[in-house]
Structure 1
């Protein structure tokens, strides 16, 4: 029997996932039984023979089904099986061993034209309420009234299709080369499907011939037995019977030799299937390597986010210091106003007391001292005002430079977007490379969604050139090293979507500082 295996990340997850899946299967079986007039489908605990799986062919099976929606299953019943009223179609989680391990089922309808010699397309509807809720792999199976599986579909999952949030930097020439290789892989995949279908037909014909040969051998054995247990009345025809027996044994030997030849041809077909499965496993190893590289890129993005957060904190501290300086400046201005008022008041008093200079001599000395202090304060105030004017002028100059840098930044951003415009095309080409399949899986007839990994890995590598500094890298450079080099040229603003060349670090710092002023 064909099995499909999927590994999880840790034993704890496997155990929790298994318990949850068993509970869901139990609930769905109870609900399916109530929905089908409380009748359990006929099953068998005997390990099944996969040679009978090609008697019902499932068609139009998708790789993914959206959870929460009904599913229509299409299949063809071959002429080698007679549909009966208790036949049913079930959903089995990949890895099942007997017909009793179904998740849910529906009764299979009888064909409209049972006497027709052509294969008739049948369909059944599975309601969304009774379908699995996890993302494990499942397959449709057709089970007859005797509990024997007569057909199995390719595996599928219940999950919504999402795009991978990955950034891949590549050149236009490499994109065209990947597109050409994808076209070649699709053509080879189609040829493999055709060869597989031809091998299946040949296997079916060989099985029919083998069955006919076994029946004929059994008939010959019956004839030999009758000849050996004949009565004494046939003694007179003993010579004739001996000749008939020899002829029957010769024919039996020929049939036996033909059976051995058919068995050898069957073994050759099995070896071809094993070769296809080994090729599929090699492709899965390459897919896992690519995923590890993408995970490393995600880790680098996390470290960049931490640096941006520290920059934001430093900007907040600078803004706080600026507010304190402005507050001190306002207090100083208030103090100057008060001192000016006091100076005017003292001058008025001096004019009023000019007639009593001698009596107020000591008081006048005190006033002179105060006047000296006020003059010193006024001088300091004038210096502060001068510095303020210089800061205003510097701010205006900085604002002009910032406007010019903003224009330069927009120009660089447009150039950057033109260099990165081909990235979305890469995400549209993952059907043969990014498709994930469970490792160590074995299907009855192979997985038709995989591609031929026979192409050497060296053919997928092209000369890499940095779009920022035109540096050329060797063919054997790692994907992570190349991506790190390209990212090292870019600086992204933590407040907006602007990006800057790494050589313009001062422009980047001024831009971030202006955000802090706003």
Structure 2
């Protein structure tokens, strides 16, 4: 009978399979124990398969199970794990040799176990006798040797797991104790250094005790001086605040005056604009009157030309009548002298009659010319009257314009003078405002300086009081 024994042999690839038996009984579960080398990161995709020894490919497995991933693993230490193969998936008994192989998630074989077989136990060689005591009577039990070995293997594995857990706990405790010892050593060193520093500080405090006592007296005297200075500065600040308020009230009053002067200046500017508008209107009326005067002068010249022409025509008619009268007198003298020449006289009479008719016609023409002359004279007189009226109106307008110009010049001069005066006032007020603002700014600056000095005095007094208290406490 072939003896079944457990072996522990290293496998290739770094993964060690533990407690691999030479034979396994079919129809019973098989437990496979293995150890991963340090630095190996297990994965849920790794698996352990049962292969024939001559299998050359990872796909030629008979059965497999997924590897177990430990919950906790210590860096730098091996990882122990185990898996179980169910009885229904195991190979049939025979002379075929099998082995466990560890395959990672990349499909690479990381380790393999020694070969083993699946065989049925022999009737006598594979049986052992166990003695069990039950109620004072001894009982002999006959069980397969593989079962006994499997039970022993389970017990030893359980004991080994307990020992591994105990080892891990002890290692953790040792690590904690070492860290605690280091912390205590560090604390001891710092305590020693602090003790030395406290000694030096005590010596320094002892030396400075006398100096602090003297400084306390000096600070007490300085504190009294500072309190008096603070009270004086507070009085100065109150006085400066009252001055600032007075200056601000005066500044507001000056600003109101400036606003009133500005409104008055705007009013004067409005009046000046109205005067300028009146001036422009008067100039327009003057231009219209001048144009009317020119037109009337032209009409007067035309009327005078017509009157002179009519006068010349009337004079010509008068000369012609006088000439005809002279001719008539000469004819009468000739009639008296030349009686024989009656025929000629009659002819002359007829000529005289015709001349009289012509003279009558000329008289009528002269009368009509005289009427026309009278009408022309009347029209000329009326034109002269109109021209005289226009000249009078023009003179009045010129006089009014001169008066308006003189008044406007006076008003303009007055307005300019008032504007200059207002400008001078505004400039003076602006200078006064600037001066007041500068004075207010200086007062504020001085007030700020006083407040800063007061705050510094208060801070110095507050700083010196705790120092005095500390020196008193150390002295006591």
TM-score range (shorter-chain normalised) is 0.3 to 0.5
For normalisation by structure 1, the TM-score amounts to 0.30
Task: Give the number of the structure with larger relative contact order, counting CA–CA contacts within 8 Å between residues 6 or more apart.
Answer: 1
Mark the structure with the bigger radius of gyration.
2
